[in-house]
Amino acid sequence: MLVVAVAALSTACAAAETTGPPDINYGRDICIECGMTIDNARFAAGYRQTDGTEKKFDDLGGLIIHARETGDLDDATVWVHDFETEEWIEAPGAFFVPTLAITSPMGHGILAFADKEWATQVAKDLGGDVLAWEVVVDLPVVEGLVGHHHMSDDEMREHEMGGMSK
């Protein structure tokens, strides 16, 4: 009887570990992309693949770059932190504000919000835009940084023209 109870408890614990956001031990866990300690929940992100594998990042831009290189997003649920509350949000339900006004750990400067109205206000205050996950995940990489906000005006015009020069 005790063996059955222990087996059932082990199975329940294993199942719990394969859902939800990754468990990040701030100040101890290392970003898989840059190798730095993950210290700030406001910028931290991660994903969990269907097999339970967790990958943790100190900056959302690092997650995007890593996932593009590995193709992991085809088999993963991505989680980001709300910039204000630090609560986890599934990335497809979040609203993103790319900005140079706030420095993230690796300089990508992409803020996530659970509330669209708050994201819109922050974007207005910072002179930016609110983007959906589908847009953020496809942002260009400019000199190693994710996002069009890292482009010069000339680079932006060229990008908008599909890479064609005048």
DSSP string, 37-84: B---TTT-EEEEETTS-EEEESSHHHHHHHHHHH-GGGGEEEEEE-TT
**Is residue 164 scored above 60 in pLDDT?**
no
**Is residue 14 scored above 60 in pLDDT?**
no
Of the candidates 66, 70, 78, the one whose C-alpha atom is nearest the C-alpha of residue 108 is: 66
pLDDT score recorded for residue 15: 44
Whether the full predicted model's pTM is greater than 0.95, yes or no, is no
- pLDDT confidence band for 145 (50 / 70 / 90): confident
Mean pLDDT over each residue of the chain, to the nearest integer: 86
Q: How confident is the model over 86-111, as a mean pLDDT?
A: 96
Q: How far is residue 154 CA from its own chain's centroid?
A: 28
- pLDDT confidence band for 40 (50 / 70 / 90): very high
pLDDT score recorded for residue 17: 54
**Is residue 118 scored above 70 in pLDDT?**
yes
pLDDT score recorded for residue 142: 84
- pLDDT confidence band for 121 (50 / 70 / 90): very high
pLDDT score recorded for residue 135: 95
- pLDDT confidence band for 3 (50 / 70 / 90): very low
Q: How confident is the model over 32-58, as a mean pLDDT?
A: 96
Proportion of the chain above pLDDT 90, given as a percent: 70
How far is residue 67's CA from residue 74's CA, in Å, rounded to a whole number? 9
